[in-house]
Chains A and B, each alone.
Chain A
Amino acid sequence: MTTLIDGRGREPPEPMVLTLEALDTLAEGDELLLLLYCQPHPLFSILRNNGYAWNEDVRADGTREIRIRKKPG
């Protein structure tokens, strides 16, 4: 299952808060899709330190698609 958070029209720290809340309930095998207009380095650091993997694509309009999953094990 994929959960979508569109952070593009939201003021910080709202996208971060919503993402952290969604991570609390993210099951293994599920995916969280975050849409932003910038690279969220603090979030990447949190993900790295807390056992999550992610990959990032950039759309033509500059939107960054960040797909987050729990690392297996």
Chain B
Amino acid sequence: MHPHLSFDQAPPISVPYRFFLVAPWFGVMAGILLAWSGGDALASRWTPEALALTHLIAVGFMLQAMCGALLQFIPVAVGANVWRPKLVANIVQPLLLLATLLLVGGLLFSRPGMFTVAVPLFLLALGGFVVVVALALWRTPATSMSLWALRLAIGGLAITVLLGSLLAEALARGFSVPILELTDVHLAWGLGGWGLMLLAGVSYQVVPMFQLTRPYPPWLTRWFAPLMLLMLLAWSAQIFIDPVRWLPLIALCLLSMLSAYAASTLWLQYTRRRKIHDATSLYFRVAMLSMLAFVVSGAVFLLFPDLGADPRFAVWLGVLAFAGVFVSAISGMMYKIMPFLNWLHLQLLNPPLSAMPNMNRMIPADAMTGQLRLHVLAVVLLLAAVWQPGLTRLAGTAFAVSCAWLGWNLVGAVRRYRTFKDQIRAAALHC
């Protein structure tokens, strides 16, 4: 199509795909675990099943997908070159996979000894990942607000991993640390400093680009990341100061920031000139509505502490954050990124115009929207199961099937990429 033009910034397609293809199957494992456990698995955030489920989603699903997305995103969106992305992916992804299984096994079967193997693997995999990505993000000449959010996100990942490693080592070796406070701070950095910071930084670019909205308001992109950093630092003071009287105030500020980001995204979708209702847009809507539900629930928790005293309330917040916000946003993102990457890498083969497939043929629209509906049903069932334990097995099954369907759709995108690649090569031979 454009034989004289060279594309040199896209990493090999296998780099993001090896992360993307694995992520949904951790969601399947989480669903199966929940269906198998049933009953009181969601009675509190501290049950072995709840801890294992949290890490299957946070480290298995989210972290796998986010690492793959970041390796792909930063060269394309902020012009930063990652050092040998294929080598990094080949080392980080399997180490991460193994470390996650060991961590989850240790949490589920209450075998802290497994943490002593998992922790060095996490430190090796994610330490290397953080260094390579941070170097790329600091060397790029780009100056966008996305870039600052990504820089802070990679710092948030480093802090999350260090705190998690400290907690795991404390449990494995029995040394004394303030477990409850450290866990709350670890969770805040994982969800806010890494997950949300990355989601926001990526959204500034991909929401206008793929969902055809206006850009995010400059006040939001300028202040969201630094304010989030400040709030998380203040939140972390609880490790050192006891008691911290202003923690509820920090929590309210954090909730206000979440509502600003979620409401802005929904407003941008609502006011766009060209309405598209593809799976990515709908998934983002589900994620942002879940975030607003999290904000309202969190505010109730803070303003009426008696209502929030039930340990199931924290699980309710966890389901909204992990399944409602992050699994939704990540699934929607993968449904847009994979067809686009297929198209981009087929373009690199310089195909004749007649052989170049349309991006919309990479994953059938019906399969994506069908899977999206099942995911929404699974999230609703999970939320209901928090208060009605009899629904736990059904909710787990629905979530497992939904994630398996997501995984199948992504595998289908890879199959179609290979088919189109063969067709293009065959067409080139006949030219």
A8: chain B residues at CB < 8 Å are 212, 273
Q: Is A61's CB within 8 Å of the partner chain B? A: yes
Q: Determine the distance from Cα of A1 to Cα of B344 in the docked complex, in whole angstroms.
A: 30
Tell me the minimal C-beta distance from B29 to chain A in angstroms. Answer: 33
A49 part of interface (Cβ distance < 8 Å)? yes
Interface: B208 (CB within 8 A): yes
Q: Contacting B142 at CB < 8 Å: which of A9, A39, A62?
A: A39
Q: Nearest Cβ in chain B — how far from A15, in angstroms?
A: 9
| Min distance, Cβ A61 to any Cβ of chain B, angstroms | 7
Across the interface, which residues of B come within 8 angstroms of A37, CB to CB?
208-209, 213-215
Inter-chain contact B273/A9, CB cutoff 8 Å? yes
Shortest Cβ distance from residue B21 to the other chain A in the assembled complex, whole angstroms: 22
The minimal Cβ–Cβ distance linking A34 to chain B, given in whole angstroms, is: 13
In the complex, are the beta carbons of B75 and A41 less than 8 A apart? yes
Contacts of A24 in B (CB 8 A): 2
Residue picked from B2, B4, B144, B343, most chain A C-beta under 10 Å: B2
Is B385 an interface position by the 8 A CB rule?
no
A9, A13, A39, A61: the one within 8 Å of B359 (CB): A13
CB-CB under 8 A from A41, the residues of chain B are 9, 75-79, 142
Q: Which chain A positions have C-beta within 8 A of B1?
A: 20
Residue of A at shortest CB range from B217?
A: A62
**Residues on the B chain within 8 Å of A29, using CB:** none
Q: Which of B199-252 contact A (CB under 8 A)?
A: 205, 208-210, 212-215, 218
List, in ascending order, chain A residues with CB within 8 A of B274's CB.
Answer: 9
Q: Are A45 and B9 in contact (CB under 8 A)?
A: yes
Q: Which residues of A contact B (CB under 8 A)?
A: 8-13, 20-21, 23-24, 37-39, 41-42, 44-46, 49-50, 61-62
Q: Which B residues contact A (CB, under 8 angstroms)?
A: 1-2, 4-10, 75-79, 142, 144, 205, 208-210, 212-215, 218, 273-274, 276, 340, 343-344, 347, 359
